[in-house]
Structure 1
């Protein structure tokens, strides 16, 4: 296989196939950097966990932006929820907006749980989607109601804890990553990581109530989109001999 060289990879020792695969592993699955390093080593790719971290920092947000542009229009029912996360010994609030299909519209790490914080969250998906939802669903937090009345007064608002399971379930993957990473080190790191993590999850989201054949087709389209976004060719990993396709080490 002839490795692909993209302009953005010109100064990197490894080609786009390896970089995109490492980033996909890190953001798609609840893996630590060292776990990702071992999984790449099993493919004959000797790369340090620090290099994977640097790749994620350099390319992750760019990939997430392109994924966001490719996703279809969101559904007309939005779920908003917030959950407490501990960062550097302080309580922070992770706000998340999700549509009825489980697609994450936006995520925002904030130090507050008031109406100002809720308005900041609402403005971000409104700006990106360029339209208001038909229905907004939240728990009984008064801040959400106050923000909705100011920003989207005509939108129907339903407040009930059990109706908001879609948003609450969306926090589960963050909790798993938080445990693997032994908590986020700062609010900035959490925001940067989750902004990419949620968009990668959106791309590979399995539609509800689909059979196996439909799921495989959906997954194939997601992989095709990923290769186009990252500029990498499809790699037949099973056909590669360890260490034969790529440089054997990197510092």
Structure 2
């Protein structure tokens, strides 16, 4: 999608065309399920959707859940306590519901933009949660984000940690990541991973691009993604997805 969070009509047309020719397409996102389904409907996708960084996989209707892997509650609360003590901005997701300490301008914008329900529990109150989260995200200045792993060292083995920006980290269960989730969906469809193309742009896409036979970096991707990619397409604002699908798929099938 573009920086304005819309998918160009020409890109929608290309994705629908390759599906009509028998190519399977799905979405893999770190966002909650509820914020991904509108895009799936736009694109005519009927395959299971990968959300919460690989921790939640379900049909776009939400009726057939393939995977729902929550975090260890004790380890989550311990990490939240440390991060609260150091005044980090924390988001805690319990399925499609977001919990924060305070409703900041960013929280409200995010909720409105992606249709995510949120609850502001108050300062130092996130540790009162009794439900195991499915994902935790922490944000701050890049220099402070670099210290997070050191602060939570005793609990690192419980989590798979990745980044979507220099100013944020996200935590899912140690057993899951986007690459594992893509492999799970492909196994259900009988598709070898060598025949999979994965397109990504941020650090949380690394596992997915490694697992796929063809790892494609967007032109606006972070340096680490570009270094490992089989091909670097154009940026999100220059029809990057459309370009690579035209180049490697539509041009090779009739």
**TM-score normalised to structure 1 length:** 0.30
Which of structures 1 and 2 has the larger relative contact order (alpha carbons within 8 angstroms, sep 6+)? 1
**Higher helix proportion:** 1
Counting strand residues as a fraction of each chain, which structure ranks higher? 2
